[in-house]
Amino acid sequence: MNDLERAKTLLEEGKYTLVLVKGEKVITSYERGVKPLLGLLDEGKDVRGFTAADRIVGKAAAFLYVLLGVKAVYANVLSILAEGVLLGHGIAVEGQTRTERIINRAGDGFCPMETAVENITDPTQAYRAIKAKLNEMKIDAEREMK
């Protein structure tokens, strides 16, 4: 079984949100959204050359995969914009279901991470935009709790 097949199998069998595989090395996560990818980047985890299997990959996640240096990405749901980013950076990509854009968790609009990187073409700028959007959302949530 190659890395892609193994990652896809583990994603489904383990009910993970993210699986990264490179040979015998396996990294898994149950965290949703871009959080596990940001965690890997912020921790400086070296996943170059790994193959990823993910539940949902939009343009924001695609930029993070570029920064992480993975060699291939599989997604249950893949946005067309994400596919373009990945292919444009030489990352093999496979998606079970393709969609124009990723919808937010409430189902009433577009994913805020997608909106944050909508007009960005540089992965480093995308990373900064994602972090800024998450910070903004955290501040808004804290305000609502008061």
Taking only the tens of pLDDT, the chain with its 146 residues reads 899 999 999 999 999 999 999 999 999 999 999 999 999 999 999 999 999 999 999 999 999 999 999 999 999 999 999 999 999 999 999 999 999 999 888 889 899 999 999 999 999 999 999 999 999 998 888 888 87
CA-based nearest residue to 4, from 65, 70, 59: 70
Among 43, 48, 55, 54, which residue's Cα sits nearest to residue 22? 48
> 93: which strand partners?
73
Which pLDDT score is estimated for 38?
96
| pLDDT at res. 128 | 97
Cβ proximity of 112 and 133 under 8 Å? yes
d(CA 20, CA 8): 9
3-class secondary structure, 59: helix
Where does 3-145 sit in CATH, by number? 3.40.140.30
According to the model, what pLDDT value does residue 114 have? 93
Cα torsion angle, 118, 47, 74, 18, sign: negative
